A and B are shown apart, each in its own frame.
Chain A
Amino acid sequence: MYRHMNKLLFTIMLMLPFITYAETADQLVYQADQYRQSSDNLKVTSLIKLYKDGQLDKERIYDVYIKPDRKSLVISQSPSEKGQRVLMIDDKFWMLLPKTKRPIRITPMQKLLGEASTGDIASMRWSEDYSAEFIASHESSDRGYNELKLTAKRKGVTYSRIDLSLIPESNIPVQAKLYLISGKLAKIATFEMARIDGRQQVSKMTLKDKIQKNRYTEIEYIARASHSLSDKYYNPTYLARNPSLVIR
């Protein structure tokens, strides 16, 4: 019996550094999240520009209302699709099409196939959707970075795996390699920082498409404000209730 206990203790001691790193990795990701979403309840206005062969190909603007427990309400403000809304609660999704008053429950795949950028803007906290693993610390002449591997812990996330690079100590995100469920590298995201409301925050995220290599997307967070939305706005039936949503 003592031999078994010794074996068990030895195994636990061997695992301890990795367990510590796992906890630390999740904390690092949480700290990185604060540069994108600093408040639990947030309204973000995102301007998305899609470029093809260096030319502006498509432009969309969205208001995103984010709440804890993975609640996110994305409202399109572009004239061509004004009134379109996507409600995301955990792994459940609903869509309201313009000029209709009837929300439709949709599958995770339908959510991904909509404007693909919806997935890129609806969730701004990796720590809610991914579990993190510390991979390595890289030194370089100008600036080193810590490399983490993020694995999706929920359905319906756009990317099943992310290789995330963070500046040591500050944990400012530098780069994120975004992989599809097939394992294929889909995009590489880079982040621009700016001083907003007295603190460093991500002001723009650029996504270079690694599948369609002549394309890239810029997501500019043109407005951010703490904003707590009443729970009933996250009720699918209420999604259709107000034709022009005035949030109070």
Chain B
Amino acid sequence: MVVKEVGALLLSALFVVNSALAENSISFLINPQYNNYSSDTRFDLPDQVIKKPQATSQQIIELTGSYPNQLIDLTYLFSLHNQLSSNQSSETNVNTNELYLTKNWDDWEVTLGRRISSWGIGYGFRPLDVVQQYDQQTLARQSTIGKNMLALEQYSGMSSWSLLWVNPNQSDESENREIESIVSKYSTSQEAYDLHAVFRYNELNRFQLGLGGIHISSDQVAVHGSLLLSQRYQKQIHQLAGQSTVLLAERFPYETVDYHRGTQALIGINWSSSSKHNLIAEYWYDQQAYSRQQWRKLFELAKNQQNLLNQTAIPPTLIQGNIAWSAMATRAQALTQHNLMLRWSYDADHWKPSANILISAADKSSMITLSTTRSTHLFKFEAGIRLFNGTNDSVYGGLLVSNILFMTLSGEY
């Protein structure tokens, strides 16, 4: 993998060095976090079983650029990502985030290579983001890695159409995002609204059909929504959840369960005032996340597993390993089916504060993020805190981490 990345870097360097027209920029990002953990959660375990670093830091350097040529354009984005952790050794990765060739004919373009294609409408959730699938809620900054693709696109007036063959010949079903897919998208911008339609086919989801739009209702208000219907979807279900006879598994207890006819939907409203306040409210439903009943069963299992730690007849490592397996469900990108998000921000002269609350409607637990941002000419700085609230058998209250202090310093030159 390292040889491939270095080879790609050298190839691009050759293009860059030989071109007077190449435009490059280099950016950096430093993102330290301080994590506090809860001992009240049902997934609590000693540090030697589950790593609970108090301090982590991401450092990312990106080199991005474009080299136009009479025949074909080359675009690239490389990153060096270093992760520091208070109780782990550091980890460094060199990534080829984007590296693609583009050929233009009038309104048409053909693209071959790795590219980031991020679609969708929404702040907290984007059902139509079927190619890239960003995690909208993470604080840990990542350098986004694109998907390998062959794309044919047309840009005409205020509309565009795309046909993508994503992850050609990839058949790794363990990671849905990397599955070979055929994707098509149509977008149009009209006087008061934008509309997007998405179609996707792969062996896992079979057919997916999506529609989304935003309507500029007034000078201050915009309404948006999107819907994605999937013929099939999967969830990782713990085989022991929902019963109390067998509490410990001897091997990885999750199985992949197929479901039919999945729905992901979002509706939201955005309001801005002349006094520089902005409010966003969104509700979304994600059928691919655990339901309240599925979480209840998993929390009950974890509670019963914790109670076994008092029994000396069972090796504690077996119990702790099973609790760690149960906790894995909390790392899913989509945690709850019914979500309500409210976000406020104030566009002050220097410091721009914001507050964001994400509520799990089923169990009333919440994730609150308070932050403030300041931009000078050279840098952008953000600092904030994220708090998780709820009972220990609720989605956000049941997480291992109770709050996170974070900062970000970034700039591009």
Contact = CB atoms under 8 A, between A and B. Distances in A.
Given A105-B189, A236-B189, A80 B376 contact: yes
B24 interface: yes
Given A83-B412, A100-B118, A107-B270, A155 B219 contact: yes
A105 B278 contact: no
Contacts of B159: 235
B347 A113 contact: yes
Contact of B411 (A79, A106, A110, A155): A79
B68 A244 contact: no
A232 B221 CA distance: 28
A89 B117 CA distance: 24
A105 B194 contact: yes
Interface in A50-105: 58-60, 78-83, 89, 92, 94, 98-102, 105
Contacts of B172: none
Interface in A228-243: 231-232, 235-238, 240, 242-243
A235 B222 CA distance: 20
Q: Interface size for chain A: under 10, 10 to 19, 20 to 34, or 35 or more residues?
A: 35 or more
A243 B220 contact: no
Interface in B213-239: 214, 216, 218-222
B21 interface: yes
Contacts of A236: 158, 187, 189, 194
A80 B378 contact: yes
Interface string A188-229: 000000000000000000000000000000000000000000
A80 B380 contact: yes
B194 A79 contact: no
Interface in B249-288: 270, 272-274, 276, 278
A237 B187 contact: yes
Given A81-B375, A244-B64, A232 B118 contact: no
A248 interface: yes
A156 interface: yes
Interface string B396-413: 000000000000001111
Given A79-B378, A107-B272, A246 B68 contact: yes
A245 B273 CA distance: 32
Interface string B117-128: 111100000000
B21 A246 contact: yes
A119 interface: no
Given A60-B377, A109-B273, A238-B155, A102 B219 contact: no
A143 B270 CA distance: 50
B411 A243 contact: no
A108 interface: yes
A102 B144 CA distance: 13
A170 to B, nearest CB: 36
A108 B219 contact: yes
Contact of A244 (B66, B132, B410): B66
A192 B159 CA distance: 41
A237 B25 contact: no
A113 B27 CA distance: 26
B23 interface: yes
B105 to A, nearest CB: 12
A60 B376 CA distance: 9
B374 to A, nearest CB: 9
Q: Which of B64, B189, B273 has the most CB of A within 10 A?
A: B189
A244 B138 CA distance: 26
A242 B75 CA distance: 8
Interface in B1-58: 21, 23-25, 27
A237 to B, nearest CB: 4
B402 to A, nearest CB: 29
Contact of A98 (B120, B272, B274, B412): B412
Interface string B170-194: 0000000000000000010101001
Contacts of B355: none
A105 B214 contact: yes
B371 interface: no
A108 B68 CA distance: 34
B377 A80 contact: yes
A58 B374 CA distance: 11
Given A81-B375, A237-B155, A246-B21, A107 B64 contact: no
14 contacts: A78-B378, A79-B378, A80-B375, A99-B27, A101-B118, A105-B189, A109-B272, A156-B219, A232-B155, A235-B156, A243-B98, A245-B23, A246-B66, A246-B68
Considering the complex of A and B, which 4 residue pairs feature the smallest CB-CB distances, nearest first?
A: A82-B412, A237-B160, A109-B272, A232-B155
